[in-house]
Structure 1
Amino acid sequence: MRTLIRGKRFSKAPDEYSLARFEDLHGCTVALGFTAVFLLWGLWAWAWSIAPARAPNTLGWHLVMGGLMTVYPVALLAGLSQRALPWLLYALLMATQGIYLYILTQLAGSAAQGTAGFLFWFLAPPLMAFIFGWGINLAGNLLLLLFPNLLVAVFGTFAGFDLLQFNLLALPSMTITLFVSHLANQWLRQTHELRKQNAWQNRAIASSGEALLVTDRDGRIEYINPSFSQITGYAPEEVIGNKPSLLKSGFHDSAFYETMWNTLLKGETWSGEIINRHKDDTSINLWMNIHPVPGRDGHPERFIAISNDLTARKRLEEEVALGNAELEAIFHNAGGGIALLDLWGRFTKFNDFWLSMLEYSGEQMSSLNYNDISHDDDITENRQLFVALASGEIPHYESDRRFVRNGGRVFWGHLSMTPVKDEAGYIRAIIAIMHDINERKLLEEKLESMAHYDALTALPNRALFFDRLTQAITQSKRSEGLFALMFVDLDGFKAVNDTFGHDTGDALLKAVSEHLLECVRESDTVARMGGDEFTIILRAIRGPEDAAHVAEKILATLAAPYHLLGHECRIGASLGIVLYPEHGKTAEELLSQADNAMYAVKKAGKNAYRFAGQH
């Protein structure tokens, strides 16, 4: 794949070392180029005697100053690379010092020569500190800029030279452009970190042994990883844009797929075994987990399917049952780790995948038993399950478990264990098949968070709120206690969003979320329902006075001004409050009553709270 970097094309994707060398070369080239431009500029100014100290208002003077104000930003912005910036600052320092020398040369013939020389040597160190120390605090920069300007202004007043005009143009222009370069440098650093993170995640997905498929909300395939192509035989260009029905094998009826889609459209994960069709028309046995990814409206926006190839395991189980001689070939060529254990849990046989997964040699594995690779928290349960398998109490066992590699590192594996019987029906061994699902577990945890928490504020979303509300109702029924539900709608948020933009609006919602959490206890729940609407569940209160106290605290907290992204924002809130079971006994009734009370507050003038039924 050809990669475009800063306007240059390379035949292959460059590594970090190549990128660093390219940025060094780019920075040096830009610095040398602008140094040459400034030298030519100085020679031209010298030849034509532009900007004499005694005639600061001439056309030439304004041309030079206007040119500087144009060239300085262009020079800095042309070298936005973090590596190019020191070269450019060095070139700009040399050019600026040259301009000072030129002006002081014009002053050399005057009676003020000594004073001018003194000011030059006084100005040079602060100027250098200003340029190379631009990362220090803002107050220090302003003092370095302001004090030399005042000295030059005083000197110009007594000597009759308008040197203040130069400082008011040149140094402020440097301040602005250096500030712009600082922001650009920060942006580049963040972009670089984001690119590194995305590259790492993409490599992890691409190298995963599990098949990954992503579709849009209409079911059209948007992405597959290399493992998907390896398992199904289809190249990306053959499936992207099509629907997964391309892989239908005909083994499942319409009711199977209807159940699957009903589960997904409810926002729940579907898991199960499915038989799909390979490109060569053979069947593939897969264990599939399909995760819906909710959009802003709460409905699934995409679907992510993660599949493990069970074909080898299924064939192996058939071969074990039939006692076929092909068992040995499948054992050593299956796409997962396979091991045989005796009835005491000792490993008697294993393939290379098993050894690679657990990072043991064959000799080391032969000296271990099942408990040695189990996680400490799972040893007791694993021992009980193994005994149940070995005794014939259960015919099969399959689960996601934690295991320990050689060296103590923990990973997640999908384990399937089946007893092996002889011709007389007696159990002689246990066969174990395991797949490394560590990457899948990490992705599932991320998807779980996305399904139940608001992406912007990290508060529980609507789905998790209703779950918490149902729990509160159940608990209150059992304990015959009280709890309150608040519906909070922000007043003035739309004006902030429209006036200062969505970035400021998002920052305001984050700040409001933090303030709401500060006003309640850890046992309470604050959720974002969408937009600028929030709900709060106050558990185990003594009476309405507790809810009123929290409401007053919220109103006072939200009324304080917010300083966000350089803007001052002021908002209020309208709160509707209901008590369980006084105002309703179901989640829907309570939320509806709280919503009605909130709208009554808005009609009455906003920025207040009201209990349901209050007039």
Structure 2
Amino acid sequence: MNSLSFPALGKYIDLLLDTVCVVDKTGHFIYVSPSAEQIFGYTQAEMMGKQMLELVHPGDRQLTLHTVDRILAGEPQPHFENRYIRKDGETVHIMWSARWSEADQCRVAVARDITRRKHAESIQQAVFAIAEASHNTQDLHALFAQIHLIISELLPADNFSVALRDNHSAAVTLPYSREQVVVTFGDASTKMANQLLAQVLDTNHAHLYNAVHEHQQLQSWLGVPLKSHSGVLGALVLKSFSAEHHYSEKNMELLQFVSTQIAAAIERKQMMARLEHLALYDQLTRLPNRTLFYDRIHSAMARAKRNKGIFSLLYLDMDKFKAVNDNYGHTAGDLLLEQVARRLESCMRECDTVARFGGDEFVVLLENIDAPNQALTVVQKIQATFAHAFDLQGHEAHIMPSVGIAHFPSDGDTEQALLRHADRAMYAAKLQAN
């Protein structure tokens, strides 16, 4: 090649949508065809003499250098892909066909913009990944973490939050938030994020905000609503403090598209959680029911057998509960059961289980105890808590529980044996109290 061949060739390659690039041995552009401006955003004049590596996306520079070494070694690269940063800051995906010209001591390459194809592929992959996550994750928090990873494949998401809005109370919670960038102006940034979230939820529309802070650091916020067929569930909020990337209208459109899939996944997980709660929890007291309790005691027994440990079971029945129903009505009786549940929970540790077996019967599973007499300490605590009167919508009721205790393994080595022993002990305590 010689210097005259480039203008002559340019008469024909001006018609190409792909771009012809010629780079010298030091990595500087010495020729680009006119279509380069459509791909890179720079004019021909601006690209001449520019170092090629400066335009390559930072995440692809090592890969690009490795590929350049192979080209210089005489290995043509017909389908090499990498990313470049356009003049306007956008990322463009390029597929190259490149080879080294030993005679002219330069690399000759043809660049094809495949951004739209990569964009479509990434969206499709994200949609599939979200659908898979909605089925495979165990709970909402695990789903949010997986969604965070999926979004991170599409655009910068180091600072990512999921907000959910309660349909009945309109209260907004932040069940998932990851802040990986620490900034000195955190309060101002948090305030802006909260304002953006409020805008998104008030208008049910996506919002984008870019600004340069007084510290001359670029800040970028992006928020989109999570819309489902039943309404707006909440919002996704992303923040970027990177000098190399700020959110754009294209980013907003992309996030809006996948947000509908995310909303569907969240709604499905919420529905499954509600069904599970209905199946495993008592609806009046919100305590575990028999089904969940049997699962808990089965697990506790397996752990105790494996570790040669012990645990205790308390069986409780409320004395004179029938009198409350007869004197004040079933509404007062239901209110009493709710208050009993809360008082029992207040006496327990986090590792203990309080369950309602039905009527006015409750069962407590005490795990991780060192000696059986620790169960007596818990019973004394319960009795002290129940010594205070219950307020039943203006009526006072003094209710005490009769309690039976069973210890594993001395009083039984099966769930049924332990419950029978504790039930008998409870009735014995009730007869003694009367």
TM-score calculated relative to the size of structure 1: 0.31
* Structure having the larger proportion of residues in strand: 2
TM-score calculated relative to the size of structure 2: 0.43
* Structure having the larger proportion of residues in helix: 1
Larger Cα-atom Rg:
1
Whose RCO is larger (CA < 8 A, sep 6+)? 2
